[in-house]
Amino acid sequence: MSKRRKYTREFKISVITELDAGKTLAQVSREYNLNPSMITRWKREYNKDPESAFRGNGAASKESRIAELERLVGKLYAENAFLKNALERLRKERR
């Protein structure tokens, strides 16, 4: 089972720029091992609205980042509590 490849916004724009610079669709397609219809779709999307083209799932990325940071905070909180408990036990043993 093959995984879907993901391309960055910068990569897509560079491919479109090469087309605009004079390379043929076939050349760019072979060079980057991309389907010509994909490149055509990227170009159409970019020409339609260059500012918002290829934005992807920005909201999902922010939500996943927040979730990742919340997990990290929880982990650090648990580690901190564990270390405080261990430190307290060591102090009691020394007395």
Distance of CA 14 to the CA centre of its chain: 18
Residues 11, 49 within the same domain: yes
Q: What is the mean pLDDT of the chain?
A: 87
Provide the pLDDT for residue 8. 86
CB-based contact 6:57 (threshold 8 Å): no
Q: Which domain holds residue 37?
A: 1-56
Kindly report the CATH number assigned to the domain that includes residue 51: 1.10.10.10
Residue 89: per-residue pLDDT: 95
Question: What gap in Å lies between CA 32 and CA 13, rounded to an integer?
Answer: 13
> What pLDDT, on the 0 to 100 scale, is given for residue 59?
53
Residues 36-54 as b/e (b if ≥16 CB within 10 A, e otherwise) read eeebeebbeebeeeeeebb
Both 90 and 63 in a single domain? yes
* Cβ contact 12:1 at 8 Å: no
Q: Which residue has the higher pLDDT, 21 or 66?
A: 21
Structural domain total, the chain: 2
User: Are residue 51 and residue 75 in the same domain, yes or no?
Assistant: no
Q: What is the pLDDT of residues 22-51, one digit of tens each?
A: 999 999 999 999 999 999 999 999 999 888
pLDDT tens-digit readout, 56-69: 655 556 777 788 88
Q: Are residues 45 and 70 in the same domain?
A: no
